[in-house]
Each structure stands twice: as structure tokens, then as C-alpha cells.
Amino acid sequence: MTYTSNFLPIIFKVAHKKISMTRHIISISVREVAVSSAVRHPKQPSLKLLKQTCINQISVMYWFNK
């Protein structure tokens, strides 16, 4: 019982670190896509492309963290 209770905080710490890292990577990629699409189409940034990149990034990180 003590082993499990000692181990749990470590698991939560690692999980939290991975989650925050994922968020960071997603925000970076979103910014990059927003900038690149704005450069290509100055009138309107491609929201569809932005959304797709978010989905791709999340799924990649999901499989990576599994």
C-alpha cells in the first residue's frame, strides 16, 4: 500500500509534464500555421488548415505519449 501511495505523485508529475509539453508544442505549431497561411493569403488566414494542423498535432502527440 505504501509503495503505491509513494509512487502515485511521481506518475502525476510525469503525466502533468507531458500534458504541458503537448500544449506547448501545439501552441507553437498553431502559431506557425497561422503565420504561414497569413503570408500566403494576406486577405484571410486558412482556418481549415489551422484546424487540421491542430488535429494532426494532437493525434501525433497522443500516439507519442501512449
Burial classification of residue 9, based on how many CB atoms lie within 10 Å of its CB (0-12 exposed, 13-18 middle, 19 or more buried): exposed
Q: Which residue has the higher pLDDT, 37 or 16?
A: 16
Identify the domain containing residue 36 by its residue range.
Answer: 2-65
The mean per-residue pLDDT over the stretch 7-24 comes to 60
| Count of the separate structural domains present in the chain | 1
Instruction: Give the tens place of pLDDT for each residue, 21-59.
Output: 666 666 655 566 555 555 555 555 556 666 666 666 666
State residue 1's pLDDT score.
44
pTM of the model: 0.24
Q: Which amino acid is at 42?
A: P
State residue 61's pLDDT score.
57
